[in-house]
Homo-oligomer: A and B are copies of this chain.
């Protein structure tokens, strides 16, 4: 069994590739919930939804969030009534948040809710939140501390970032399914998807026991979200610069050096292999840009081979 750690878009794509390449019982996908928040009285879990919609085949391929073929009648009507328009909730997407909020209100855990929604959408893989406890990410910017979605969506990541906090992470418990996967004798290895290291992966790693479990794990493979000095999508490179890290695959290698055995980088960055390997981890260069379903599956197979030691 392989455990994937994922955030939003990049994580969802590789998770989808893994899902296409493994039996559902061979895969557990643990997803960041640090960007979860309450909006319009609804509990929104952006990364969980992006991965869930992607695996269900209903994700919007253009935006990287929300559903394909989405309509916006609700948002238009809400703005006409003076409601907030900065966080876009499509008509179909809204149903996910309403149903999630209702189920949480009836006492289900986020893990149970996610399982229920996945069943309904025909997602057969174990898609699990990193934790059932709230671990809201907050960022310190020039404008002071901001809740994550205020920074990420409302402010479009414009304010320079000085620090990140995973609030409550030290006392939150990893979800039962994440713990079970980390403790399982069946665990062959962990794949850290090409999600934002600071905003998507770090919240998972900040949970008690997760980093230790990774250090003890046979093989941990990470895929660099930075290619040629830029992020495929999102603010990863900008944030690395602001936090004083080098926004390259080498910077990613330094960030993950103590946790990861193998870093998968893009062919475009192959020249960085010696420097990365000087940090004490193995670097493998291949095509990491997932342009289509086959691209996702190819990168997934690469990661699976590396975990299983079947690639020379």
Contact = CB atoms under 8 A, between A and B. Distances in A.
Interface of A: 40-42, 67, 70-71, 73-78, 80-83, 90-96, 98-99, 101-102, 105, 116-117, 120-121
A116 B82 contact: yes
11 contacts: A41-B42, A41-B98, A41-B101, A73-B73, A74-B74, A74-B91, A74-B92, A76-B92, A77-B96, A81-B99, A91-B91
A171 to B, nearest CB: 28
B77 A95 contact: yes
Nearest to A120: B81
A92 B121 contact: no
Contacts of A41: 41-42, 98, 101-102, 105
Number of identical monomers bound together in the oligomeric complex: 2
Contact of A98 (B67, B78, B96, B121): B78
Contact of A99 (B76, B82, B96, B101): B82
A303 B305 CA distance: 82
Given A41-B102, A74-B74, A77-B91, 13 more contacts: A71-B73, A73-B91, A74-B91, A74-B94, A74-B95, A74-B98, A76-B92, A77-B95, A80-B120, A81-B99, A81-B117, A82-B99, A94-B94
Tell which of A42, A82, A98 has the most Cβ of chain B within 10 Å.
A98
Contacts of A93: 77
A91 B120 CA distance: 21
A74 B99 CA distance: 11
Nearest to A105: B41
B76 A120 contact: no
A69 to B, nearest CB: 9
A78 B99 contact: yes
Nearest to A79: B95
